[in-house]
Amino acid sequence: MSDQPSAKAISFNSARFLVSASRLEECPPDQGAEVAFAGRSNAGKSSAINTITANGKLARTSKTPGRTRLINFFSLNRPDCRLVDLPGYGYAKVSRDMKDDWQQHLDHYLSQRQSLRGLVLVMDIRHPMTDFDQMMVEWCQHNNLPLMILATKSDKLKFGQAKTALLKISAMLKHYDCVEHLVMFSATTKAGLDDSRAALEAWLEGREAEILST
């Protein structure tokens, strides 16, 4: 009897917009595997997603912080795998009630979504570990959710400065078991692209990836 055919390799270049959701019940069926991206406004989250998927228009980028107000799902070439762009946190010019509403539905997604395999926390390497970043790291630690840190905009620093900044971030995170990967990343130079894709692929396929070093 012949062996079963292996699953199709994940292609991040295949990413396409699937649906937007403002609350948990509007999300796609909770099946398969997905990885979500979170980050403070203007940390470079949308640019990171666009770089990883080689699609400059997939996630909306804007110089106006806080433009991502919905949970946006992107399908991949395997129907059981998705990427998720979570609402940016920070400077959105909306009412406090609306911000509280976003926070509530975001918490519902993070705490109840069974297909969520890991979280990518995007932070500006020049301004790391903000209050939001700290909150997300502690949330992942408490809920045993694997975490990858993308230290973005590394091209804004000289290489030595970027390495030093990354080592400082690593030291701040050393007590958190949930942090599986820390990647120096740049949407401009594509630094960290291969490492971040490898980690995402491992999570989506349900296997372990090598721990990425700083």
**pLDDT for 23-72, tens place per residue?**
889 999 999 999 999 998 889 999 999 999 999 889 875 444 444 568 89
Task: Region of 17 please: left (phi>0), alpha (psi -120 to 50) or beta.
Answer: beta
Specify the pTM.
Answer: 0.89
pLDDT at 91 over 50: no
Residue 204 pLDDT grade (very low, low, confident, very high; cuts 50, 70, 90): very high
pLDDT of residue 5: 47
Q: Which ranges in the chain belong to alpha helices (H)?
A: 45-52, 96-112, 131-143, 159-172, 193-205
Let me know if domain 14-205 sits in CATH 3.90.1150.10: no
pLDDT of residue 66: 46
Domain positions in the chain: 14-205
**pLDDT for 112-152, tens place per residue?**
999 999 999 999 999 999 988 998 999 999 999 999 999 99
Q: What is the DSSP string of 100-145?
A: HHHHHHHHHHHHH-TTEEEEEEEEETTS-S-HHHHHHHHHHHHHT-
